Amino acid sequence: MRQITASQLDDIALGAAVLGTGGGGDPYIGKLMAKAAIDRNGPVTLLDPSEVDDDALVIPAGMMGAPTVMVEKIPRGTEIITAFEAIQNFLGRKATATMSVEAGGLNSTTPFVVAAELGIPLVDADMMGRAFPEIQMVMPSLYGIKATPMAIADEKGNSAILNTINNKWTETLARTMTVDMGCSAMLAAFAMSGAQVKEAGVGRTITQIESIGRTIRAAQTAHVDPIDAVRRATGGFVIWRGKVTDVARRTETGFARGDAFISGLGEFEGKSLRISFQNEFLIAQTEDEVLVTTPDLITVLDAETGHPITTETLRYGFRVAVLGMPCDRRWRTPAGIALVGPGYFGYKTDYIPIEKRYG
């Protein structure tokens, strides 16, 4: 158990952007909201998963929508509390703690708002160990844990409780609502017991992202190569260096989709890398080979500073390094690949673990 103060959120948000793999929402907005909540209510207690009672009620909370929308339509601030309280009312039980839906991007910090405002602890864990675009793409799905009852709320005051037959249906129905709500909504879902959190959660990821953020900052101060520092901190591989030549984006069916093209520099000269995204970077390939695919992580870093660049800020002319990082082992099971592998997103390629290509 430890206390998280507003000043620690800088490292947490920076590290979250690395695991955010280009998506997961602008960590800056999430950080400011979390800081404001902590300033109003005091530090947030972070619980190690081992400190959570088996019969505790843990309700994860987060944002759903397109990250490109979030940087424009900033939340009202009350949506996530509305959603969280709606689910507590539905269950007739107060939550013992809350938790992050994803360790990557904005959703690593959104539940800090719930924890601070409602005075409950946050579990040091998430449901992905990274960021993914759809609701059912969480580790608890592999353990048969249901997303619903789920509450979803917008800034206008609308909210709804969903009950669905499976987590894919939760995604389908909630996505439609999210689009109608302006592509940005807040949710509380996947109510779990403490025992379930320990089994189906990805543990200690808040501590992990805080450490990644600290590593980047320290590398800058000490003038060691920040790209190499991130690579070592995440067990990843540098798969590309180059200059962004085009970013084609579209906001459709409630997602920020598109492709980024990066012409190679140095040892990659003469070739172009294409990274496709649906909120998150999902597949990195050249004209003749696939380099990395989901569920392994693909992240784009500023070549000079090592700071991660999200899809919405990626622009023509940026000099970048692309990092591939191994995912949680459970994603590599047949059920994991079926849920979040390249085939699910329509890419006709088999998943090959990044260590097999680069290790």
State the minimum distance, in angstroms, from the CB of residue 321 to other proteins. 12
In this structure, which amino acid lies at residue 282?
L
Residues in the chain: 359
Which of residues 37 and 147 has its CB atom nearest to other proteins in the complex? 37
Nearest distance from C-beta of residue 72 to other proteins, angstroms: 5
151-182 as b/e: b if 16+ CB within 10 A = bbbbbeeebbebebeebbbbbebbbebbbebe
Q: What's the min distance (Å) between Cβ of 191 and other proteins?
A: 25
Question: In angstroms, what is the minimal distance from the CB of 307 to other proteins?
Answer: 5
CA dihedral 128, 1, 89, 118 (to 10 degrees): -110
Which residue number, 58 or 70, has a Cβ lying nearer to other proteins? Answer: 70
Q: How far is the CB of 327 from other proteins (least distance, A)?
A: 26
Q: How far is the CB of 29 from other proteins (least distance, A)?
A: 7
* Cα-based torsion angle of the residue sequence 141, 145, 147, 150 in order, rounded to the nearest 10 degrees: -170
How far apart (Å, rounded) are the C-alpha atoms in residues 321 and 227?
A: 7
In the complex, what is the shortest distance from the CB of residue 63 to other proteins, in angstroms, rounded to a whole number?
A: 12
Residue closer to other proteins by CB (options 199, 302) is 302
Q: Which residues bind other proteins (CB under 8 A)?
A: 28-29, 32-33, 36, 66, 68-69, 71-77, 155-157, 182-183, 223, 225, 246, 248-252, 302, 304-305, 307, 309, 312-313, 315-319
Q: Walk across the sheet containing 272-278 and list its strands.
A: 290-293, 280-285, 272-278, 255-264, 237-252, 319-325, 297-302
Closest contact distance (angstroms) between CB of 164 and other proteins is 25
Residue among 49 and 75 whose Cβ is closer to other proteins? 75
Quick one: 274 or 357, whose CB is closer to other proteins?
A: 274
Q: CB neighbours (10 Å) of residue 348?
A: 7
- CB nearer to other proteins: pick between 204 and 231: 231
Tell me phi and psi for residue 17, to 5 degrees.
-70, -30
Q: Which is nearer to other proteins, 215 or 294 (CB)?
A: 215
| CA pair distance 23, 260, nearest whole angstrom | 13
Cβ proximity to other proteins: between 96 and 311 the closer is: 311
Q: Which two tokens stand for residue 167?
A: 């987590």
DSSP state of 43: P
- What CA–CA distances, in Å, run from 300 to 17, 230, 241? 10, 11, 10
- By the 8 A CB rule, do 97 and 52 touch? yes
